Structure 1
Amino acid sequence: MGRDIEAMKALNEAHLQEPQVGDMWEEMCNWVCVVLDVTPDTVTICRKKKAESSQWWSWDLAEAEELTRAEFRAWLSYGCIPGTWAYVHARRGKGDAEYWRDKFAKPERAYEFEVD
């Protein structure tokens, strides 16, 4: 059973334009970022990973970075042709986002995203 490439492209584009908290992006079976927060102007992501043992890793959530929405789109887009170089797994990292919100987010911000 193959993947529906056009459906994947449409999902990527939808989440590129309107990122969701917990979206995880991967390229060639390698996770490249998790979306931690979304505002009307910015997207907070984590790209950095840390080894937890010789067998697994986790996101280094202390190293989260805030991008403008334009920067986020530009980073994931090819630029010279339509589309993205990574694929979204919608809200797969929602637990990571919830943990970041509780442990690392700025307390003066109101984080009102829903985590199922």
Structure 2
Amino acid sequence: MKQGDITLQGFYQAFVAYTQKVDAQFSKQDELLDNIAIQVTNNTELLKEHNQKIDTLQTDMSTVKSGVDFLLKKDKKYETENASHKSSYNRLNDTQEEHTEQIAENKENIVILKKAMAI
């Protein structure tokens, strides 16, 4: 045999070393794939939880929107009632002023009548 010739035993040893190296790489890749599968499972569970939270928040937001709409309708009703009350108050105020003027005029007439009766 010459130097550089490959023997069957050398080839076999090289082949075994190579297959062990490949097996080790496959083992690492299998482990990585297992870890990825675990992460995917965990992420799926987290996604389900987040979707449930989103559903709950959407329900809560719908409830809040209904409450806000209800309050806005009440506010509109109170604005209308307030305007009506303000109008009534202004009419009463005007009537009171008229009555105050009438009372002052009546007092003047009473004074005039008393003077006339005293003569």
Q: TM-score range by the shorter chain?
A: under 0.3
TM-score, normalized by length of structure 2? 0.17
Task: Give the TM-score normalised by the residue count of structure 1.
Answer: 0.18
* Higher strand residue share: 1
Structure showing greater radius of gyration is 2
Structure showing greater relative contact order (alpha-carbon pairs closer than 8 Å, 6 or more residues apart): 1
Structure with the higher helix share, 1 or 2: 2
